[in-house]
Amino acid sequence: MSGNAKLSVGGRILNRVSGGNLLLLLLRRWDARVALAILTLLALSGIAPGLFVGPLQTATTAEAAPLLPPSGAHLFGTDDLGRDLLNLTVHGARISLVVGALSAVITLLLGGGIGMIAGYRGGRTDALLMRIADTFLILPTFVLALILAPILRELIGDQTEILGIRTTLLTIVAVIGVTSWSSTARIVRSQTLSLRERTFVERARLVGLSPMRIIARHIFPNIRTVLVANGIVVIAGSILTESTLSFIGLGDPFQPSWGTILGNAQSAAAPSLGAWWFIMAPGGAILFTVIACTIVGNAIDELLDRDVRVRR
Amino acid sequence: MSDQRRISAASGAPLLRVRGVSVTYGVQRSIADILARRPGGAIVALDDVDLDVDAGEIVAVVGESGSGKTTLARVITGLIKAESGVVEVEGEGPNDWRSVGMVFQDPYETLDPKRTLGEFVAEGLEAQGLPMDRIDASLEAAELRPASAYRDRVPEELSGGQRQRAVIAGALALNPKLVIADEPVSMLDVSMRAQILALIERLRREQGIAWLFITHDLSLAWAISDRVVVLYLGAVLEEGTAEQVLRNPSHPYTRALLAALPSTDPRAAGTHSLAAGEIPQGAAPSGCRFRNRCAHAVEACASARPPLEAAPSGAAGHRVACFRAAELPAAASVARHAPGGATPSGGA
Ligand SMILES: Nc1ncnc2c1ncn2[C@@H]1O[C@H](COP(=O)(O)OP(=O)(O)OP(=O)(O)O)[C@@H](O)[C@H]1O
Ligand code: SF4
Ligand SMILES: [Mg+2]
């Protein structure tokens, strides 16, 4: 291939998929626009629920009749204790946000770091790290969380807070982080392996740049978008895991979570009472969030794919 | 073009001294290879290569694809280790990065798409602990003027020629005495080629930088170099001044290469040809490496490797590895081929 082919029209834009660039490209797709809007709404609910509803106390105290269907006063209806479901769902976003964000950070730090080191160093370091990654890859997240959550809760106690986050949540985050870093590490490693052979890395080695600097300057910037795409997928997965754990009663009892609300609906026999709104509010929130994450993650992947194709 | 152009160190060791360098690549076999019982083993990319480059000299290494040119560049710059042999720059091992620069074939690949030219040039300075104020001077020395107009640009905003200048600037920043250029103009269009060649020539003239100019294009070698080394299947078959090797070639291979050029000189056209066109894959033949393609091959050629010895021309420094060099008829003079009509060294 001649060098000029790399300057084809598509390549001009896509050669530098990164940062703000990436956001602009995403906004050109209608599905990504909708998904990003949903995620923005989620983020706002998590950070500033006051924008939409009252403070947390108003959500957890009953003030209406139980099991009211959606109406002007209660847009999402009320639960079996007469609490406003919209209020609960908005406040529930915070847990999803915290769990999703923290899990993604842990996963990306562990998986990204280990993947880059394994890919760049190669040889025995690579073999060893990938063996460890494979071991973690087969750990079932949910089962592990199921076992660890009650144990840690017993050991540390419900009320203990670390940096303002209750330990139950931290358990969930830790379990998700520990079980999902390995697939990230694999993806990052294979990207690093091919980057390592690129001439600009070879030339950096030639002028004497240290491996750590090469990783920071050349490897990391070139896989940043891959990490973003991967992180979003991790967020979706961890929100699901948290919801499931809360649903079966292993979540944080002091902060409403979508999974907890769903669990309440289940124990209040909402399905058999025909109180569909009781399930719809938290269920819809989970569904839309996970779908939105998946759409954005896939869209980034597709953009990257084209990016890689153009560059080759 | 003659020996006068050679500004060699009057005495003492050459700037670059390569002796007996061999490189073998291990080849990994895929499952398909194993099932098909294809041998794994090794590719000998360089076999006992000797090479000198004097200070301020431009030496062209010419050879077909797969002859080991890039491997030679990688050994000299220390990117890979030779299995045997020595590589010395100013009498020292290949750890003295500052004195050897490298210009790669593909300027689109040598610059990280995510980083500016200034950051690219700064990289070597930082690694070597040199002051950053050399960035602008280096860019301007590579004719990217004014430096302020290029420093903050990313590769995608530049033409191939500008990129290759930036790569050269990155090498210049470290004050090299020798720059290895691996097919530096093969991906550029013709007008750019002449400019980059002129730049190389100027840097040699003004800064005394020696160049090892790797190319598969004999006309480029003719246009730029003082001396030419012909590489075939990892070994040197002929070497000498550009005049000696390209106008009075001794080795049947060199002659065949020259004859294969689209020639403007009717005397040179079609007088020699490569007997069997393909460069052998895998191991070189026993005896003379070139014998399976050589029109003059005789039985004796299979018995041993012909050593690199003084050419029948008797000219100093002209050496050839062929048993029959002395018996072969003198070669017809070969026409000058200058790339794009431009001969940067034309005035010399
Ligand atoms: N990393 C490698 N692993 C295995 N074999 C290699 C490797 N690099 C080069 N080779 C082989 O070594 C031989 C010499 O390759 P090299 O790249 O040095 O040739 P070249 O003269 O630069 O060719 P070209 O003009 O195609 O760039 C070839 O047979 C090639 O297939
Ligand atoms: S040694 Fe024999 S085979 Fe080799 S180049 Fe000379 S004549 Fe040809
Ligand atoms: Mg090459």
Ligand 2 center to residue B290 CA distance, Å? Answer: 6
- Cβ–ligand 1 distance for B63 under 6 Å, the answer yes
pLDDT one digit per residue (tens) for chain B, 348 residues: 444 334 444 446 899 999 999 999 887 777 777 777 766 677 889 999 999 999 999 999 999 999 999 999 999 998 888 999 999 988 877 665 567 899 999 999 999 988 899 999 999 999 988 999 999 999 999 999 899 999 999 998 999 999 999 999 999 999 999 999 999 999 998 889 999 999 999 999 999 999 999 999 999 999 999 999 999 999 999 999 999 999 999 999 999 988 887 755 544 444 444 444 566 666 678 889 999 889 899 999 999 999 999 998 888 899 999 999 998 877 554 444 433 333 444 333
The Cα B340–Cα B182 span in angstroms is 20
How far, CA to CA in Å, does B204 sit from each of A39, A295, B54?
60, 56, 12
Residue A116 confidence (pLDDT): 96
Residue listed under structure tokens 């020629």:
B161
**Residue identifier of the C-alpha nearest atom 4 of ligand 1:** B25
Ligand 3 center to residue B65 CA distance, Å? Answer: 7
**Residue identifier of the C-alpha nearest atom 22 of ligand 1:** B70
According to DSSP, residue B100 is labeled E
Would the CB atoms of B109 and A217 count as touching at under 8 Å? Answer: no
Of A312, A302, A265, whose CA–CA distance to A285 is shortest?
A: A265
Of the CA atoms within 13 Å of residue A11, those in its CB half-sphere come to 16
Residue listed under structure tokens 């191991």:
B283
Please report residues of A whose CB lies closer than 8 A to that of B190: none
* Nearest CB partner across the interface for A199, out of B106, B124, B174: B106
Would the CB atoms of A203 and B104 count as touching at under 8 Å? Answer: yes
Please report residues of A whose CB lies closer than 8 A to that of B104: 199, 202-203
Would the CB atoms of B106 and A3 count as touching at under 8 Å? Answer: yes
Question: Ligand 2: which residues within 6 Å by Cβ?
Answer: B 252, 288, 290-291, 294, 296-297, 301, 306, 322-324
Angstroms from B211 CA to nearest CA on chain A? 17
A242, A257 contact by CB (below 8 A): yes
Going by C-beta distance under 8 Å and a sequence separation of 6 or more, which residues neighbour residue A113? none
Q: Which amino acid is located at B279 in the chain?
A: I
How many Å is the Cα radius of gyration of chain B? 21
Going by C-beta distance under 8 Å and a sequence separation of 6 or more, which residues neighbour residue A207? B97, B123, B124, B127, B128, B170, B174
- Cβ–ligand 1 distance for B216 under 6 Å, the answer yes
- Three-state SS string over B109-173 comes to HHCCCCCCHHHHHHHHHHHHCCCCCHHHHHHHHCCCCCHHHCCCCCHHHCCHHHHHHHHHHHHHC
Residue B261 confidence (pLDDT): 76
Question: In angstroms, how far apart are the furthest CA atoms of chain A?
Answer: 74
Residue B31 confidence (pLDDT): 76
Residue A306 confidence (pLDDT): 64
Residue A118 confidence (pLDDT): 96
Can you give the pTM of this predicted structure? 0.79
Going by C-beta distance under 8 Å and a sequence separation of 6 or more, which residues neighbour residue A82? A62, A63, A64, A65, A66, A68
The size of chain A, in residues, is 312
The Cα A300–Cα A310 span in angstroms is 15
How distant is the alpha carbon of residue B23 from its chain centre?
Answer: 17
Residue B254 confidence (pLDDT): 94
Ligand 3 center to residue B284 CA distance, Å? Answer: 18
Mutate to test the pocket of ligand 1, among B28, B29, B51, B70 (most ligand atoms within 8 A of CB): B70
The Cα A301–Cα B5 span in angstroms is 56
Ligand 1 center to residue B70 CA distance, Å? Answer: 7
Of B103, B79, B78, B108, whose CA–CA distance to B93 is shortest?
A: B78
The Cα B237–Cα B245 span in angstroms is 11
Please report residues of B whose CB lies closer than 8 A to that of A209: 123-124, 126-127
- Reported for A65-68, long-range contacts at CB under 8 A and 24+ positions apart, including other chains, are A67/A268, A67/A270, A67/A273, A67/A275, A67/A278
Angstroms from A183 CA to nearest CA on chain B? 25
The Cα B73–Cα B104 span in angstroms is 9
Map out the domains of chain A as residue ranges: 25-48+74-311
How distant is the alpha carbon of residue A28 from its chain centre?
Answer: 23
Ligand nearest to the CA of B230: 1
Q: Please report the DSSP string for A43-80 in residue order.
A: HHHHH-GGGTS--HHHHHS--S-TTPPS-SSSTT-B-T
The alpha-helical segments, DSSP class H, found in B160-274 are: 160-172, 190-207, 218-224, 242, 252-260
Residue B271 confidence (pLDDT): 43
Of the CA atoms within 13 Å of residue B227, those in its CB half-sphere come to 25
The Cα B336–Cα B80 span in angstroms is 36
| CATH class of segment(s) A25-48+74-311 | mainly alpha
Would the CB atoms of B126 and A209 count as touching at under 8 Å? Answer: yes
Mutate to test the pocket of ligand 1, among B23, B69, B76 (most ligand atoms within 8 A of CB): B69
Residue B282 confidence (pLDDT): 61
What are the 10-residue block averages of pLDDT along chain A, 312 residues in total? 32 47 86 93 90 84 86 89 91 88 92 96 94 90 80 73 71 83 93 94 92 93 88 89 85 81 89 90 93 90 66 46
* Nearest CB partner across the interface for A208, out of B97, B113, B119: B97
Residue A252 confidence (pLDDT): 74
Consecutive H or E run containing A261: helix A258-267
Q: Please report the DSSP string for A145-211 in residue order.
A: HHHHHHHHHHHH-SS-EETTEEHHHHHHHHHHHHHHHHHHHHHHHHHHHHHHTSHHHHHHHHTT--H
Ligand 3 center to residue B99 CA distance, Å? Answer: 22
Burial class (CB in 10 A: 0-12, 13-18, 19+), A161: exposed
The Cα A114–Cα A280 span in angstroms is 40
Please report residues of A whose CB lies closer than 8 A to that of B28: none
Q: What are phi and psi of B21, to 5 degrees?
A: -80, 130
Helix axes A167-196 and A141-156, enclosed angle (nearest 10): 140
